Amino acid sequence: MEGERIIKNKKLLYFCHQPNLNDIQGSIEKHNKHSIVDLKNVMIIWPDEISPTVCSPNNLSELNKVVDTNVITIVDRIKNKNNITRIAGHINRSGQNFLVGSTPFLDKPQFPDMSNLYDLRGNKKTTVHTIGRERYLSTERLNRKTVWSESIALVAIVFSYLGFTVEGFGVPDQKTNENTVQFIINNP
């Protein structure tokens, strides 16, 4: 991204998947294996892939060098919910943790406290079960009473570890083509 440009006073949206950008006017830049669209009052970021390398504390801390905020809104796909919902917590059932082998990092502890990971503003909140991309996209039958997510547990802990206040939103599969960005901006 054009050197080390600092982006100020913008809402930072981190999508765990490539967002639908049909209605968004802005050029896509690359920085540390992430795509970034810098709009008037929001910056949208998504990784090339959700992996321990791309979403490591080291790599995500490099993103922190180009933004001037400590609040991040993470957007993930979910199943078994009909509306966009605020995520209040997660259960990581993916079999991965991107902090393992990466801590301690800088002046951070080896075993961080993750008990208050998400900002809990708003009314409709849910806890999701993160199962990773492969299981999420498979045809495997999943319990219909559980809200499943693709990746939020994997990246939320890294951002929290780096000192970000984490907001989470889950977007149902059938709504991923709607203007999710506008909804989230209008529902802080």
Q: What is the pLDDT of residue 9?
A: 61
Listed as ranges, residues in the chain with pLDDT below 70 are 1-9, 22-25, 122-123, 175-178, 188
Q: What is the pLDDT of residue 7?
A: 54
Classified as helix, coil or strand, 42 is: strand
What pTM did the predictor assign?
A: 0.89
How many whole angstroms separate alpha carbon 140 and alpha carbon 105? Answer: 37
What fold is seen in the domain 7-186? Rossmann fold (3.40.50)
Q: What is the pLDDT of residue 116?
A: 82
Q: Which residues pair with 125 in a beta bridge?
A: 86
Q: What is the pLDDT of residue 1?
A: 42
Q: What is the pLDDT of residue 6?
A: 54
CA 105-111-115 angle, 5° bins: 120
Give the chain's count of helices (H) and strands (E).
Answer: 4, 11
DSSP 62-126: HHHTSEE-SEEEEEEEEES-SS-EEEEEEEE-SS--TTTTT-S-TTS-SS---TT-B---SS-EE
